[in-house]
Structure 1
């Protein structure tokens, strides 16, 4: 577990320089989180990164704690959201909830933008640690990825590329993904000013039924699923497979017995 955390930390140390190049443009999920979280809630975002979701909720009057395993990501968030942190509306902390509990009590917990899929081993430990910070009748929302049509076997995987501008920097990214069982391996090569950075990550696919079992075992209830980011689209029915790109699960806990 420690080795896995160290590897992820190093990956995101490199990734922080390029992360916002395409992630900051992703806005489809923001209204869903805005409907889920209200200013009176004590909110925790797990895997807050550089603050994409944080900013949206902070600007709507919410008070939030953001945690991430990458100090480099958090430093970018601090620079961008300094006024909210100074005003006491935002707290940022470098913490790995997969390996140890956190402090505080929260009414809403967000695990955004496929963060949970990077928990390759012992996801039940994450839920055990999470339960220790949940208030009575707290609610949890997790956005999970589904392998796309671009992901194939390693022998069949092709390279795709895109160019983007980030704070005046011209960057070319090459991307290749392949699937083995329930794991997607993704290699990204960033080229900038003659320099090249290669980053490889692995994500685990959790099916809706797996997530339901994990949540029930951890003591959650009223589990709902959605295959869109429409706040009103959640249902207690398991989504039919095959799924397209993602699904969202939310759940409640009605007891503080941990």
Structure 2
């Protein structure tokens, strides 16, 4: 899922997911007939599921991202333009997925709660919600993450819009709000064009994620710390939660 301040054709070449996440979500969806991805963006995860799932749906608020997905994905994949908090898609899904920090794009905990309520409605009894984000507790409790801006660093070179771009990143952290605002500066190597884009994340701590799930009628089943399915602990870099709709 992208920020509305971030053009899809610039986002997709840089933000390619986490190592192992595509294989993880393939495994999660093994045997599932109806799957819905929230915050599907341009369809990276949908693409690896398209040949394995009988009925596959993706939802995103960005029409620009969905336009890319329509070009890249099989016509059998059903795409919806809607917000995670308010979507209305016919229920009965075996899996609902929110990959790659998508849940962190919601502005506050109330929005997360509303999203989980919608997910509960969309799932079949016994169906699973699976979502991932970086480990919020580890960051929140690490005093080396100071409030304010860090220094801008060059992080990648990408191809987009028929040109090559050097990408520089600068983050602002607000611990009291559990919020990162990350600015990406794209510098064209072919001319002097410069484009600045932004992602805003409000990360979740494990306890509040559980509280929001349980309040929506979703029972936490397991928390993984990485996409190889190792157990989550205080040293984990990721928080990957599976929750089940009560039968």
TM-score tier (shorter) = 0.7 to 0.9
What's the TM-score once normalised by structure 2's chain length?
A: 0.85
Aligned residues: 234
Q: Note if contact 1:151-1:178 (Cα within 8 Å) is conserved in structure 2.
A: no
What's the TM-score once normalised by structure 1's chain length?
A: 0.82
1:27 Cα offset (Å): 4.7
State the partner residue of 2:157: 163
The separation in 2 between residues aligned to 1:152 and 1:195, in whole angstroms, is: 32
- How does 1:238-249 map onto structure 2 within 5 Å? 239-241=232-234, 243-249=235-241
Moved more, 219-228 or 63-72: 219-228
Q: Note if contact 1:151-1:177 (Cα within 8 Å) is conserved in structure 2.
A: no
Distance 1:130 1:153, change over 3 A: same
**Unpaired segments ≥5 residues, structure 1:** 1-7
1:223 Cα offset (Å): 2.4
Distance 1:40 1:184, change over 3 A: closer
Q: Deviations over 1:195-239 (max 9, x none)?
A: 2211222211211111111111111124210111024x35xxxx4
Could you tell me which of 67, 74, 96 is aligned with 1:109? 96
The separation in 1 between residues aligned to 2:69 and 2:54, in whole angstroms, is: 16
1:129 Cα offset (Å): 1.6
Distance 1:132 1:21, change over 3 A: same
Distance 1:229 1:175, change over 3 A: same
- How does 1:191-230 map onto structure 2 within 5 Å? 191-192=187-188, 193-230=191-228
Could you tell me which of 11, 20, 30 is aligned with 1:19? 11
State the partner residue of 2:171: 177
CA-based RMSD = 2.3
Q: Note if contact 1:102-1:129 (Cα within 8 Å) is conserved in structure 2.
A: no
State the partner residue of 2:65: 73
1:120 aligned onto 2:107: yes
Which secondary structure does the structure 2 equivalent of 1:132 belong to?
Answer: helix
1:152 Cα offset (Å): 4.0
